[in-house]
Amino acid sequence: MDYRELIRPRMSEYRFVHSCAVAERAKHLALRWKADPEKAFIAGMVHDICKDISKEEQLKCITENGIIPDDVLLSNPSLWHSLAGSLFLPSVGIDDLEILSAVRYHTSARADMTLLEEIIYMADLTSADRVYKDVDYVRQLCERSLHAATFYALRYIVGDLAHQNRPISKDTWEAYNFYLQITKDQK
């Protein structure tokens, strides 16, 4: 399957370039951490497949698949595309559960992520197209410890959400607590 051709009609040019960059970064991290580089590339390529559809369509995809969003999910539309993407992908022939789960948690994270989930989570945050104050540091951290990089990212995200008085999803909160504990235990 040509994944570029699959995602191109569903995305803006910006999102397409981002998805290609995430796929390359995911493949790199998979090789670095001895995960399946092909699965990482595919998951990176399709991780935002539902990002550019309307919020209404994202929510419709979620609810039509039998998921009843709680109040926190309903108040965090930025999380909807990852869940919608994981539900949409089987309809286009991508049904590998590891890939679907990596797409599902690439925005919220979750406690005790699989290696592929961590790779996609961090590839999305450290792809070549990302520019933010600490991006080079986070990229370097990914080379030394994927757990430490994941915790660093979660610490920032939880702090930023709290600073903005926005609700924190259960998955993100549990991920923060989990990675806090395992990185503390590694010191």
Query: Mind listing the pLDDT tens digit of every residue in the chain (187 residues)?
Result: 899 999 999 999 999 999 999 999 999 999 999 999 999 999 999 999 999 999 999 999 999 999 999 999 999 999 999 999 999 999 999 999 999 999 999 999 999 999 999 999 999 999 999 999 999 999 999 999 999 999 999 999 999 999 999 999 999 999 999 999 999 866 5
Q: Would you state the pLDDT for residue 1? A: 86
**Best CA proximity match to 19, nearest among 43, 53, 54:** 43
Is residue 25 a contact partner of residue 18, using CB atoms and an 8 Å limit?
no
Q: Which fold has domain 3-132?
A: Hypothetical protein af1432 (1.10.3210)
Structure tokens at 56: 């209404």
pTM of the model: 0.96
Spatial neighbors of 100 by CB under 8 A, at least 6 apart, are 86, 89, 90, 94
How many angstroms separate the Cα of 97 from the Cα of each of 87, 103, 117?
Answer: 11, 10, 11
Q: Would you state the pLDDT for residue 33? A: 98
Gap between the Cα atoms of 33 and 120, Å rounded: 12
- Hey, where are the domains in the chain? 3-132
